[in-house]
Amino acid sequence: MAEQSVLTVNIVTPDGSVYEEQTTMAIFKTTVGEIGVLPNHIPLLASLQIDEVRVKIDGTDDKFEEIAVSGGFVEFSNNIATVVANSAERKENIDSDRAERARKRAEEKLARAKQEHDVDTLRRAEVSLRRAVNRLNISKH
């Protein structure tokens, strides 16, 4: 396998491929911390947090494109990084009003679950809150 100077980042969801670009660096937030992947990284498999995937825009020094992903995992081999997640959105596709509403809803649910000591709902509300906050953060970048 020849040495390459770029890697391809591909983000797929059940509703189709959301993102496919070449880059020189991609940064993933895994469940145990941030991982930066450069071309010719060894094969990697990592579970992701509900957070952003940062992909360096080709040809720039320090500009990154952020894509919101809702968990899932990343698989890297042969210079192709594939993020497999239940949902993912590029910055320009995020509906910030909808995310804001989702955040409010999740917060309300969280407060209610805390009062009622409903562990199950609490956990679920936390996850949806994280998803909404993640979307909002990225859309405000």
Partner 1 sequence: MGASLQEVKRRISSTKKTEQITGAMQMVSTAKLSQIQRHTTSYHVYADKIRSVITHLAQTHLLDGKVVSDSASTPKKNKDQVSGLDMLTKRDVKHTGIVVITSDRGLVGSYNSNVIKQTMELIKNAGHTTDDTVIIALGGTGADFFKKRGYNVAFEYRGINDIPKFRDTQQLVKKIVGMYDDETYDELFVCYNHFVNTLTSEFRAEQMLPISAINIGDDDLTQKSDEEYAPVYEMEPSQDAILEVVLPQYAESLIYGAILDAKTSEHASSSTAMKSATDNAKDIISSLELQFNRARQSAITTEITEITGAQAALD
| Contact set with partner 1 (CB under 8 A) | 1, 12-17, 30-32, 35, 42-47, 71-73, 75, 77-78, 82, 84, 86-87
Q: How far is the CB of 61 from partner 1 (least distance, A)?
A: 27
Please identify, using beta-carbon distances, which residue of 31 and 60 lies nearer to partner 1.
Answer: 31
**26-30 and 44-56 strand pairing:** antiparallel
51 contacts 30 by C-beta, under 8 angstroms: no
Q: How far is CA 74 from the centre of its chain?
A: 10
Q: How far is the CB of 86 from partner 1 (least distance, A)?
A: 7
Please identify, using beta-carbon distances, which residue of 35 and 122 lies nearer to partner 1.
Answer: 35
Please identify, using beta-carbon distances, which residue of 87 and 137 lies nearer to partner 1.
Answer: 87
Q: How far is the CB of 45 from partner 1 (least distance, A)?
A: 4
54 forms beta bridges with 27, 66
Measured distance CA(49)–CA(69) in Å, rounded: 8
Q: How far is CA 18 from the centre of its chain?
A: 12
Measured distance CA(72)–CA(51) in Å, rounded: 10
Q: How far is the CB of 78 from partner 1 (least distance, A)?
A: 8
Ramachandran class of 86: left when φ > 0, alpha when ψ lies in -120 to 50, beta otherwise: alpha
Please identify, using beta-carbon distances, which residue of 13 and 139 lies nearer to partner 1.
Answer: 13
Q: How far is the CB of 59 from partner 1 (least distance, A)?
A: 27
Please identify, using beta-carbon distances, which residue of 60 and 78 lies nearer to partner 1.
Answer: 78
